[in-house]
């Protein structure tokens, strides 16, 4: 399972890449606006993210009609070879996905909340489908069940579209995504930092260090 960062913060991306854990990035208008408010233009932010990210970077159109989606998508695709166009799950969006597929421009279909939407996006030619599990949890549904159902459908029909789990809130989402066999998960930097942590790991490390002080009171390593 590949790990993407869901952010437009360049410093977070640099740290994730430096750890060797980040395979790509997803952005959205809300995240980009947050960073653009710090004095950088949207285009400059996206170009920098494309340059420092080793894999795909999803950049979302803000148009809702087919013609303007296509215009924006073509502009985004010219910013970098690793740019992926995020297109919303609508009828116009499905039409745009088909057209972009014909132009060999990869698409991440976003704002997916049920398996039918995922199947339609795949049929239209999306490279990725992004089900929003956290937002489903917020309204009392089981977001991860949707991932499981999408996986079953895609396996049934040999669909190569990648399942990209989005709106991730906690390490449990990460674990269940891996068990189900999702292709990609995109998560905020604060969730990424929680993944290696366990209280028993901290406890064990503290015990080892305390025991070592009995051998080397100043904590030095003699080799």
Positions annotated as catalytic residues are: 86
Q: What's the chain's Rg over C-alpha atoms?
A: 20
- Residues 3 and 185 sit within 8 Å (Cβ to Cβ): yes
For residue 17, how many other CB atoms are within 10 A of its CB?
A: 17
Token pair for residue 104? 């060999």
Nearest-angstrom CA–CA distance, 92 and 31: 24
How far apart, in whole angstroms, are the C-alpha atoms of residue 126 and residue 1? 18
Q: Which residues contact 51 (CB under 8 A, 6 or more apart)?
A: 80
Length of the chain measured in residues = 223
Token representation of residue 172: 């449990």
**If we measure between CA atoms, which residue out of 155, 152, 105, 111 comes closest to residue 129?**
111
Beta-carbon contacts of residue 133 (< 8 Å; ≥ 6 apart): 143, 144, 146, 147, 165, 166, 167, 168, 169, 173
Here the tokens at position 203 are 């406890």
């Amino acid at each position: 399972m590949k790990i993407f960062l869901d952010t437009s913060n360049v410093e977070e991306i640099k740290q994730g890449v430096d750890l060797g854990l980040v395979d790509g990035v997803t952005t959205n208008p809300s995240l980009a606006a947050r960073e653009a408010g710090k004095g950088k233009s949207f285009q400059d932010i996206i170009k920098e993210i494309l340059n420092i990210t080793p894999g795909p970077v999803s950049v979302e159109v803000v148009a809702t009609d087919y013609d303007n989606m296509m215009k924006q998508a073509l502009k985004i695709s010219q910013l970098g070879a690793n740019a992926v166009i995020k297109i919303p799950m609508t009828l116009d969006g499905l039409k745009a996905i088909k057209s972009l597929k014909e132009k060999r421009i990869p698409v991440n279909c976003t704002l997916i909340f049920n398996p039918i939407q995922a199947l339609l996006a795949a049929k239209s030619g999306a490279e990725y489908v992004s089900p929003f599990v956290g937002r489903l949890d917020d309204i009392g549904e089981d977001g991860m069940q949707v991932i499981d159902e999408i996986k079953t459908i895609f396996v049934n029909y040999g669909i190569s579209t990648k399942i990209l789990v989005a709106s991730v809130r906690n390490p449990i989402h990460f674990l269940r995504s891996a068990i189900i066999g999702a292709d990609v998960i995109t998560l905020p930097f604060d969730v990424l930092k929680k993944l290696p942590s366990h209280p028993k790991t901290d406890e064990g490390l503290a015990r080892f260090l305390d025991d070592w002080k009995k051998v080397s009171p100043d904590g030095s390593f003699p080799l």
